[in-house]
Structure 1
Amino acid sequence: MAPISIQQEDISIITVAKRILSLSSQICFYLIANSFPEPSFTADEGDVPETPEYEALRAPLNDALHDIFRLVNGPKNTLKELIFSHYDLAALQVALDRGFFNHVPLPKASSSTSIMKSSEAEIAQKTGMDEGRTGRILKMLATHRIFKEVEDEPGSFMHTANSAFLSRNPEFYAAADMQMDDMFKVACEASAMISSSPFDLDISRSVFHQRYGTSMYQYYEQRPGKAQRFAKAMGSWSRLNRHIDELYDGFPWESLKTGKVVDIGGGNGHTSVELARMFPSLQFIVQDISPHMLSQAHQDVGDRVTFQQHDFFNPQPVHDASAFIIRQCLHNYNDKDAVKIVRAVVPALKRCGRGTPLLISDIILPESGTTTRFQEHHLRQIDLCMMVLHGAKERSKEDFEKIIKEADQHLEIVNMCRNPMGIGLLEVRLNVE
């Protein structure tokens, strides 16, 4: 029997609604069975579970929800929502920049019956802007359930789960603020970048470089305050997408015994610090070219995590390692530069013990049709992020294999794992007889 084409697929309001009901019921049963609280919009509620079982239900439910939204709205209304969405982001940009989220009081203990709120006038005064635009920004965000206007008290606002999450999580706030500040401004000029360089793409032809006249890394080197925000944002990104879990589960760290692990391009060291906590017998060296990133280093694991300034385009200086990690670095570079980064490690791999692994932790794009559209959409967002910021891209396993073989024909991927968010781990070794 021939496979069903997209045109023959049974997508209708009623069939999609049935799927939504089924998946929603399964989520409710899962929450009850595992003693997770029912999600709500109230400010004192926590986030949803971050378990593989919950993700396996959440992703297809989002596919179905987006389908029914588009079906009932039709093309005109669906596209209208999309082409006006930059105004929603503009409201969020102002609220983050002016600190709206820190000027509405969080709820007190759950036993309290009082409503914690602030008026437009109070928020405007604390954020240093006029009351009229303050209210307009708040009302726009409230349509996304970010803040809520108090019932029977127009002009006063209280936290919802979404706005309270930003208030309570400074690292996620930093990630959101960075995206709505530098990255939002850059993304708006993607078309201009392609017009100026329609066929070639590298870091000097990225949108970021075109707008600011320098690479993103040099930009932050020149702006220590923004560099600190970037470091906090990267810590939030790591926890948000469970990178550490993937590293933890994807490689037998105990087999290294009391070995030394080199974290190449490791930034402020949050990955190595987490691994050091999990594996107290291991030593870690965090390498980064940026003194600002290294200055943000954690110091709570004693001398088992040390820091070294190093440019990963230059030959790797550590020759007695048990393993090397390149985490969330290669996607910042085009294929030519990614090959150079991997190739710079090869002489050290040859001088270290036989079979010393190079662990590449990065997004691994799925093959077509192997994941939900909801999950793929987020990965495609990150792919375009790499394009506009660095003139780079996310890669599939096949893409990584090409880079690794070009770096050295004896390098081989011996193991691969990937979590539902697309974050993967490639175990690469030298196959030398």
Structure 2
Amino acid sequence: MPSPLRSLLTIIQKSVDDIEAAFEKRGHDFPSIDELPSERDSIRLEPGVQAATALLTSAAYQLIANVQLPPSYIFNSLFGYYLPSALRAAMETNVVEILRQAGPQGMHVKDIAEKAQVDPTKLSSILCYLATHHIFREISPNVYVNNRLSSVWDTEKSLEEIKQNPTAKFDGTNGIAALIGHCADEDYKGAGQISDHFMAPETAFEDTPERSPLMVALGYDKGSMWSWFEEPSNEMRLRRFGIAMNGVNSLQPPDAILKGFDWASLPEGSLVVDVGGGIGVSSISIARAFPHLKCIVQDRSKVIEIGTEHCQKLLPDALSSGKIEYHEHDFFDAQPQTSSTVFLLKQITHDWSDRYVIRILKRLRDAATPTTTLVIVDTIINHPCPSPPSEIPGANLAPPPSPLLANLGVANASTHFADLSMFVHFNACERTLAHMVELLAGTGWEVTRVYRSDDSGGYLPQIVARTVPIPVEE
């Protein structure tokens, strides 16, 4: 019987072999972290490569947890809060853009600091810390270049362009820089309140978004995060948040919303209502791929304004033809679209505690026809231990090789980041599949299928439900 260390090493070795074989099959070597992104990165998105990557990541982190001295492991984890702080500092000071313009010879931290208008000693500490985590590359003392990791949040704009119009820095980007800004600003501040909020008698069982850890951290008592975003002083943050949600979309393949539910099977002229659809990221993808469908994006008025502008840049013909429409609507009110083929709830239910989700689902059930389909796209929490099998098609995941955790551990940690982030923002949560099935069943919906987004199974799968009789309360 091999030791746990040997078992983990075997998983890592096989995963490396599988990944390298996939690249070699297409005539490429696996890229170095020091290289910039290229077309061959698309090979990483192939299902087999993603599966091997998940196993390798899980095994590597578990190996570290096994071999590192427990105090060292705990303290390395504890001081991890400096990483988002450093990421935000580098993003806000446009270091990636400065280094892109500097080229492969790099730039000394003093020159970077001069262009960024910050203290070079402090910037040196930040960049050295990031490079130690393989984000940026230090090619000689205090001389840095971009690498594969730092380049992912490049806005592809010049420093001069950003300085001329800083509020538009994130416009037209992949959204990752905006996501870093949001997570390392609002989310980070709220995370610092988790323990106090969780233990204080007055907030321990709070489930309203108005008294979330973030609202406490910001000292805001006039509503939830959504109303805080709409304060005049937060115009930039609201705009950044909308684009950041596109950054979340960038964590999946661009066409992820199209994989799973069979959009092509819907009849000509079918109506897809993107409930709480933000700036319309999902609807734009659907309309571009399936022009026979009509999409209505519903959200708050200010978000609709930004969304209309976003769609005008990316898919103007869909707006002019009416294939995409933007409507102001509060999903806690009666749903006005009563002939919808599909209601789409992408990353909505995780924003709300159970009693609010029940109200949203009931509103949609009231407006549904007997043939209306509900598609929920939200993170599913998987337990580290094995769970009982489900009878729902697509719900069960193949168990990973021993001794990996059932949920692949840190390789699937993003689902748990998201869960805690929902607590911080809204006193809400991500849910297990069993939890979501229970909420749906109580509001007149039955889950018929789960389409997993990857072999980890938790990140933004599609949960498909149909209407059933609403349970009668006794």
TM-score normalised by structure 2 residue count: 0.81
- What's the CA shift for 1:284? 0.8
1:63 aligns with 2:58: yes
| Matching of residues 258-337 of structure 1 within 5 Å | 258-297=269-308, 298-299=311-312, 300=315, 301-302=318-319, 303-337=322-356
Letter matched to residue 363 of structure 1: T
Q: What SS is found at the alignment partner of 2:272?
A: strand
Range 215-224 or range 379-388, more displaced: 215-224
Return the offset for 1:269: 0.7
User: Cα–Cα, structure 1 residues 40 and 273, in superposed 2: closer, same or farther, change >3 Å?
Assistant: same
| Kept in 1: contact 2:263–2:290 (CA 8 A) | no
**Which residue among 12, 15, 37 is the counterpart of 1:20?**
12
Residue type at the aligned position of 1:377: A
User: Counterpart in 1 of 2:110?
Assistant: 121
Post-superposition offset of 1:242: 4.2
Match of 2:446 in 1: 412
Equivalent pair of 1:59/1:374 in contact (CA under 8 Å): no
1:355 CA displacement: 1.1
Give the one of 92, 96, 99 matched to 2:94.
Answer: 99
1:162 maps to a residue whose letter is: L
**2:463 pairs with 417, 426, 431, which one?**
426
SS in 2 for 1:59: helix
Match of 1:371 among 393, 400, 407: 407
Give 1:390 shift: 0.8
Query: Which amino acid is the alignment partner of residue 419 of structure 1?
Result: S
What corresponds to 2:167 in structure 1?
A: none
In structure 1, runs of 5+ residues without a counterpart are 1-8, 109-114
2:375 corresponds to: 359
Deviations 1:254-310 (A, max 9, x none): 233221111110011111010001111111110002423442331212421011000
Distance 1:346 1:18, change over 3 A: closer
Does the aligned pair in 1 maintain the 2:138–2:145 contact within 8 Å?
yes
Runs of 4+ in structure 1 displaced over 6 angstroms?
none
Matched to 1:39, the amino acid is P
What is the aligned partner in structure 2 of residue 208 from structure 1?
214
Q: Distance in 2 between matches of 1:427 and 1:243?
A: 20
Q: Is the 8 Å Cα contact of residues 350 and 429 (structure 2) preserved in structure 1?
A: yes
Displacement after TM superposition at 1:237 (Å) = 0.7
SS at match of 2:176: helix
The alpha carbon displacement at 1:216 in A equals: 1.7
Deviations 1:197-246 (A, max 9, x none): 22333323321121222422112112221111111111121131348424
The one-letter amino acid of 1:17's match is L
Distance 2:186 2:131 in 1: 24
Q: What is the aligned partner in structure 1 of residue 399 from structure 2?
A: none
SS of residue matched to 1:365? coil
1:340 matched residue in structure 2: 359
Which residue of structure 2 lines up, in the alignment, with residue 400 of structure 1? 436
Q: Is the 8 A contact 1:36 1:49 kept in 2?
A: no
Q: Once the 2 structures are TM-superposed, how far is the Cα of residue 405 of structure 1 from its aligned partner?
A: 2.5
8 Å Cα contact 2:176/2:250 also seen in 1? no
**Distance change in 2, residues 1:88/1:376 (3 Å):** closer
- Decide whether aligned partners of structure 1 residues 295 and 30 sit closer, same or farther in structure 2, where only a CA change above 3 A counts: same
Contact 1:262 / 1:284 at 8 angstroms: preserved in 2?
Answer: yes
**Which residue is 1:111 aligned to?**
none
Task: Give distance in 1, aligned partners of 2:216 and 2:469.
Answer: 43
Distance (whole Å) between structure 2 residues aligned to residue 71 and residue 346 of structure 1: 49
The verdict on how the C-alpha distance between 1:155 and 1:414 changes in structure 2, with shifts beyond 3 A counting, is: closer
- AA aligned to 2:67 is V
Structure 2 Cα separation of the partners of residues 45 and 244 of structure 1: 19
d(CA) in 1 for partners of 2:284 and 2:263? 17
Q: Call closer, same or farther: CA 1:286–1:344 in 2, change over 3 Å.
A: same
- Equivalent-residue separation in structure 2 for 1:107 and 1:94 (angstroms): 19
Q: Which residue number in structure 2 is paired with residue 6 of structure 1?
A: none
Q: Distance in 2 between matches of 1:11 and 1:252?
A: 48
Q: What is the Cα-based RMSD across aligned positions, in Å? A: 2.2
Name the SS for the 1:116 alignment partner: coil
Match of 2:164?
Answer: none
Question: What count of residue pairs does the alignment treat as equivalent?
Answer: 412
Distance 1:11 1:209, change over 3 A: farther
Q: 1:167 aligns with which of 146, 154, 160?
A: 154
Cα distance 1:432–1:355, how it changes in 2: closer, same or farther (>3 A)? farther
The answer to which of 389-398 and 307-316 deviates more is: 389-398
Following the alignment from structure 2 to structure 1, what is the Cα–Cα distance between the partners of residues 355 and 71? 42
Provide the C-alpha distance between the structure 1 equivalents of 2:132 and 2:271, rounded to a whole number of angstroms. Answer: 51
- Secondary structure of 1:249 counterpart: coil
Q: Measure how far apart 1:331 and its partner are.
A: 0.6
Counterpart residue identity of residue 279, structure 1: F
Q: Which amino acid aligns with 1:71?
A: N
Summarize the Cα distance change of 1:279–1:418 in structure 2 as closer, same or farther, 3 Å threshold.
same
User: In the alignment, which of 218, 232, 236 is matched to residue 247 of structure 2?
Assistant: 236
CA distance in 1, matches of 2:37, 2:228: 38
Distance (Å, rounded) in 1 between the aligned partners of 2:361 and 2:255? 21
Q: 1:177 corresponds to which residue? A: 181
Contact 2:336/2:367, CA 8 A, preserved across alignment: yes
Residues 30-80 of structure 1: CA distance to partner in whole angstroms, max 9, x if unpaired? 221244551212242344612221121111111211122223322121112
The CA deviation at 1:383 is 0.8
Map of 1:257 onto structure 2: 268
1:296 counterpart SS class = helix
Q: Which residue in 2 is equivalent to 1:220?
A: 229
Secondary structure of the residue aligned to 1:363 is: coil
